[in-house]
Amino acid sequence: MQTFKGTKIVNGIAIGRIKIYKTPDYVISEELVSDIGAEIERFEAARVKVQEQQNALYEKEMKEGRKDTAGIFEAHAMMLDDEDTLIDPCKEIMAEGHTAEYAVRAAFDNAATEFSEMEDEYFRARSADVIDLKNSMLDVLFGNDTESLQGTEPAILVAEDLAPSETVKLDKSLLLGLVTRLGSSNSHTAILARSMNWPTLIQCHDIADDWDGKFAILDGYNSCIYIEPDQKTIDELSAKQAEDKAREEKLKELKGQPSVTKDGRKVKLYANIGGPKDIQAVIENDAEGVGLFRSEFVYLNSKEDPSEEAQFAAYKQVLEGLSPRMVIIRTCDIGADKTIDYMQLDKEDNPALGFRAVRICLTRPDFFKRQLRALLRASAFGNLGIMFPMIISLWEVKKCKEILEECRKELEAEGAKIGKYEIGIMIETPAAALCADELAEEVDFFSLGTNDLTQYTCAIDRQSANLEPFANTHHPAVLRLIRETIEAGHRHNTWVGICGELGADPTLTEEFLKWGVDELSVNPKSILPLRGNVRNADLSKFKTESPKAVDPKKEPKGFFGRLFS
């Protein structure tokens, strides 16, 4: 038996034969051709076909409720219309007498290199998209059936890396697990693997061609793969796999059950979603509400600035479809790694610390008011929470509320019906966490965005694969800020939730409950496992004291007043 380590993306056990997946290494002729027009026609036919394939993959992912991954293929289809970067360079090469295959390889490789050398992490990541499109174009031009590369029997698929289109085309009934030599935890392959819940290992650098056909066990829990395991390992991990399947069936019994600890502590379990397509996932997984509706996807999925009516329709659909559940909608969080051409944002050296989220909204009031008006109108159709992201100071909250009140008065004057709603903010910066007492006086709730809170507290770019060895999601500074934010919120009767990745971390559930968190918002598929953790927790062994309410007469004014009191 041989054991090889990697980085786990999805827990779980996969047992079976290995299938090595290799993208064809096409031999492209450099000889010139006489019929240039015919080559351009072949190129155009291939481009149209690949664009149709990408659009079909987009529709498929949207239909199955995977909006994040659908956006990958929508972007690919749009890239194939890029004349300056891809189309014109290909035609110029073919005009010299080269074949369509030669032109695609040369032009797409050149574009990928340009992207890879850019300073911006987001644009560097687009290099992989261009290579994916190049391979798809060559598959069509050479008449290759990419799907046949998977084989015909269920197997653990092992590859150098997988492009998004390759991953989605895989026959799920034949895929036991996935292992790649390359990739990062934020790569497209990782995103797709999580959404499809495949046991997955990346950065397994010891992959070898002679693995093909060998019996293996992928152990996601221990971040490794066993090649030709001994009988003891087979027996132990087969039992673990059976336990996992039994646990999944058992979890279904938790539907309709209260999210209450053994000693009676109640916590709300909400879902994170990207749009109306996720309504069914919320219902099927028995989420008690939505703790994070990422409204930026309304913008990302539009080719122009969405109108008030378009936004109102999307928000109304979710609120009405999930009523009486609470739905917390985060206002537009564009910027950093989420960019949109029609917003014409300037290129920044450090976009994660730049012009994003509420900073855009407060400097573009007309843009902001369109969304706030749509949200207020939608509030008449359900139970709404309006949440402002990337807050760092009190004046920002007051300004957001001022503009919201201005929109409310306008709509009332127009005779529009407005329902009840709560106002909250995301605590995702150390600045907000340290000023939580002041901020809590202005809002109904806090939601801790632990992904960005970790990034900004630890100075670790969450998109960078190179920094993964330095990243610590359980960093004591982050956990301390979470605890102190919960306590600060409760001192002012402001309820506090967690909507980042840590909310679904089973090793922290009991700790969060002990600190008094009111709500946990996670991926819909994590709702039932999390409910099981909550119902198994017993906090009676901990001595807990509720934070005392603030006495305005005794409390020192401001953060520095408390710091030096």
Establish if 361 belongs to a structural domain.
Answer: yes
At 381 the pLDDT is 96
* Strand 200-202, strand 7-10: pairing: antiparallel
- The tokens describing 295, both together, are 């409204």
The values of phi and psi at residue 338, to 5°, are: -115, 100
Q: Closest Cα partner for 515 from 479, 551, 548?
A: 479
Distance CA 392, CA 412 (A): 31
In a shared domain, residues 164 and 69 = no
pLDDT recorded at residue 275: 80
pLDDT, residue 22, reads 78
* Residue numbers of the domain that contains 483: 268-564
Beta-bridge mates of residue 383:
326
Predicted local confidence at residue 556, as pLDDT? 44
Q: Are 133 and 151 in the same domain?
A: no
pLDDT (0 to 100) of residue 122: 61
User: What is the secondary structure of 324-391 as a DSSP string?
Assistant: TSEEEEE----BTTB--GGG-PPP-SSGGGSS-THHHHHH-HHHHHHHHHHHHHHGGGSEEEEEE-S-
Number of domains in the chain: 3
Question: Of the candidates 92, 108, 143, which is a domain's last residue?
Answer: 143
Distance CA 215, CA 80 (A): 41
120 and 154, same domain (yes or no): no
456 and 408 in contact (C-beta within 8 Å)?
no
Are 444 and 553 part of one and the same domain?
Answer: yes
Q: What is the mean pLDDT of each run of 10 residues along the chain (565 residues)?
A: 90 92 79 92 92 86 70 86 88 93 92 80 74 87 67 87 70 86 72 74 90 94 94 95 88 93 95 84 92 84 79 93 95 69 67 78 90 96 96 95 96 95 96 96 96 89 72 90 96 94 90 96 89 92 57 45 40
Active-site residues, by number, are 188, 499
CATH number for the domain harbouring residue 152 = 3.50.30.10
Q: Which two tokens stand for residue 223?
A: 């971040």
Same domain, 172 and 103: no
Contact 74, 341 (CB under 8 A): no
pLDDT for res 500 = 80
The pair of three-digit structure tokens given for residue 404, joined into one six-digit string = 């919201």
